[in-house]
Amino acid sequence: MPWLAALLLAAGCTAPEKPPDTATDAIGRTLERRAAAVMDRDEDAYLAVLAPSARTLRATAREEFENLADVPLGSWTYHLTGIERTGDRATVRAELRYRIAGYDTAPVSTPRTLALEERGGRWYVTGDRPGAGGAPQLWQQGEVRAVRGAHSLVLGVGADEAAGRRLRGIAAAADRAVPAVDDAWRGPWARRVVLLVPDSLESMAGLLGAPAAGYRGIAAVTTGEVGSPGAAPADRIVVNPEAYGALSSYGQRIVLTHETTHVATRAATSAATPAWLSEGFADWVAYRGTERTAGEIAPELQRAVRRGETPARLPSDEDFAFGGDAERLARSYEGGWLACELIARDWGERRLTAFYRAVGAHPGREGAVEKAAHDVLSTTPENLTARWRDFVRQRLA
């Protein structure tokens, strides 16, 4: 080994580090100025970080800024996750994180991909689009109107009086849903909900980043990430104005109580929670205390039972997929509801909620129901399934 190489190795020398790219800090400052302009409601400052030559972007940005005027923002930040730079141009991956004041205890996070260029030592935004897995936001679909209820905030697109009446009606229904959920699900949760109401099914699908066909006939869905118990990000109930508007007032109340249950139980829901339990429990809360018969609540499953087709097992997660067989989807929700109804009847409502929490607290899907059934219900999944099948036949035959 040459003596110089040996000396370098002995001294622990390494190749010189590449100097940091000063563009990263400059780009970060540009996005900080943009975020501050949103919070300050300063349109001139918001537009000042855009490249003067990006006329289409500037027109779109001005419209979006105006659409945000009625949204009560508590925070708005950009978190850089990656930068690819070539000379005076850069592509930036970032997380837009924003929080609704008075409603969100944690920010909503959505990926954005931004294009920037350097001019005169400063970086300017030339493009802004959803990042991988992201979707457009409500204010990118039109002017947003905010309607505040006692327990709800409804953010909807539409400036006419008909839109205003629709949003006020949704807020009133949500205000009835929150106390109903709170009575069934005791424990810490926000006890308030944020609802997004786009102007069409297609716009709803756009917010969810999915084809519209998968949500046709679905009145509302709740967005939010499941994770470790106790860590619940901000949820949004997204309303399909077409399907929701076609429901009776009773149906609308059931839908919003179901979705509000998902908001309340989010911190106790994890990857260990099967869909039959999360969806069945939400339906159980929604129908709790109503005078509807089992056949009125579960008509598709009743038809199957009367054909001699009582299901052999509890519904799988795949049975709850949107965009597939509508009758199978309905039977899955109905079967999950009857499973929770059975547990509430035979073990009591407190044991039902304890069972839900115990399943969600398990470190993974495997063994979650087994352990919770043993610890909380003193039974086995096999016994629970057999009792559920008997219960389904008893209630729906």
* Sheet with 220-223: strands ordered across: 144-148, 152-157, 193-197, 236-239, 220-223
Residue 86's pLDDT is 94
Q: Is 176 exposed, middle or buried (0-12, 13-18, 19+ CB in 10 A)?
A: middle
Structure tokens at 7: 């000396």
Residue 228's pLDDT is 43
Residue 3's pLDDT is 36
Main-chain phi, psi angles of 251, to 5 degrees? -60, -40
Residue 102's pLDDT is 92
pLDDT at 9 over 50: no
Interval 29-54 mean pLDDT: 97
What type of residue sits at position 259? E
Interval 52-81 mean pLDDT: 97
> Per-residue pLDDT tens for 336-358?
999 999 999 999 999 999 999 99
Averaged pLDDT score across all residues of the chain: 92
Between 243 and 326, name the one with better pLDDT: 243
Residue 387's pLDDT is 98
pLDDT at 104 over 80: yes
**Taking a C-beta distance cutoff of 8 angstroms, is the pair 19, 31 a contact?**
no
Between 259 and 323, name the one with better pLDDT: 259
Interval 110-120 mean pLDDT: 96
Residue 13's pLDDT is 41
Q: Is the dihedral of CA 211, 213, 219, 224 positive or negative?
A: negative
**Taking a C-beta distance cutoff of 8 angstroms, is the pair 128, 139 a contact?**
no
CA distance 367 to 36: 48
Task: Identify the band that residue 14 occupies on the pLDDT scale cut at 50, 70 and 90.
Answer: very low
Interval 260-274 mean pLDDT: 96
* Pick from 284, 278, 256: nearest CA to 265: 278
Interval 1-20 mean pLDDT: 40
Q: Rounded to a whole number, what is the largest CA-CA distance in the chain?
A: 91
List Cα–Cα distances, 385 to 373, 379, 390, in angstroms. Answer: 11, 10, 9
pTM: 0.90
Lowest mean pLDDT among 14-18, 27-31, 50-54, 190-194: 14-18
pLDDT at 12 over 70: no
CA distance 118 to 128: 16
Task: Identify the band that residue 16 occupies on the pLDDT scale cut at 50, 70 and 90.
Answer: very low
Residue 359: other Cβ atoms inside 10 A: 24
> Per-residue pLDDT tens for 195-232?
999 999 999 999 999 999 889 989 999 997 655 444 45
Q: Go through the domains of the chain in sequence order and give each one's CATH number.
A: 22-134 (3.10.450.50), 136-266 (3.30.2010.30), 270-397 (no CATH)
Residue 362's pLDDT is 97
Residue 233's pLDDT is 60
Tokens 């939400």: give the residue: 282
What type of residue sits at position 116? L
> Per-residue pLDDT tens for 287-324?
999 999 999 999 999 999 999 999 999 999 999 988 77
pLDDT at 393 over 70: yes
